[in-house]
Amino acid sequence: MTAGRTSEVVVAVVQTAPGDDPARNRRAITDLTEEAVRRGAQVVVFPEYSSYFSPDLGPAYLDAAEPTDGPFVRHLTALADRLGVVVVAGLVAVSPDPARFENLLVAVAPGRGVVARYSKQHLYDAFGGQESRWIVPGPLAVAATFEVGGLVFGLQTCYDLRFPEVTRTLVDAGADVVLMPAEWVRGPLKQHHWTTLLTARALENTVYVAAADHAPPIGVGCSTIVDPTGVAVASVGDEVDVMAVARVSADRIAAVRRLNPSLALRRYDVVPRRVGAGETSSERSDRE
């Protein structure tokens, strides 16, 4: 732990079920953030698509897309200022492409507004889904991080979990805690994938991972906070409008890394793939 770092920050991951009524979603975020603050939370994490969600990805998302100074972010800003808490949530945001939207995460801090934003890099063109039809992929840019109480928090979302390079990039940028808002769709073995991958990202990077998913029947639920040894220190099951709350500790990270200095011992860096590699069919079509 370096000088000036506090030892602990309390984090809450909120498992809820956003719908297609933005005003109702905002009211739910207010109620649940107030509850989290009563439980001592300093950082409150909501799922992907918290501003708007429909099971059918399509034109309705374009109609619901907002700018980052729109009603949803203004609401989060007012909430953060009033309660003195950092709020992280997924936003359906407008993009330069009128036919697609941006799957965006924002972190809003009291008195500072948006302190980090992250546009989903890996789109869910898998398990029968095709997000690239409707979503613009995020740029491979500087890692999205912010600081609370001397701890550094990093942002990534949902399908990014299957790509360990995303998390490693955040850790290389100094992240102590990786926040993972998601809409992890239910299906055969999907709950197993979710819990296994969250554990792996924490273990291989010796960091905390705090993941907030949609509740069933759409998401798998199982929102959780995993510590640097891969232990789930707080978690919930399949309920809606519940939260897991835990303290994340710089001292704990330092102790684990003294015992297991895997980050210091590694021999590879993470670099973006060359242009054209790994692109989606929609990206390739746009380029051609």
Q: Which three-class secondary structure state does DSSP give residue 119? A: strand
pLDDT at res. 275: 57
> Among the options 120, 131, 183, 222, which is catalytic?
120
pLDDT at res. 4: 42
Q: 48 an active-site residue?
A: yes
pLDDT at res. 276: 54
pLDDT at res. 55: 94
Q: 158 an active-site residue?
A: yes
How far CA 2 is from CA of 19, 50, 139, 172, 178, in Å, comes to 43, 35, 31, 16, 19
User: Architecture of 8-287 per CATH?
Assistant: 4-Layer Sandwich (3.60)
Distance CA 141, CA 121 (A): 10
pLDDT at res. 281: 44
Residue corresponding to tokens 């684990």 = 256
222 burial via Cβ count (<10 Å: 0-12, 13-18, 19+): buried
For the chain, which ranges sit under pLDDT 70?
Answer: 1-6, 274-288
Q: 34 an active-site residue?
A: no
> Among the options 66, 102, 158, 222, which is catalytic?
158
In this prediction the pTM is 0.93
> Among the options 48, 66, 102, 131, which is catalytic?
48
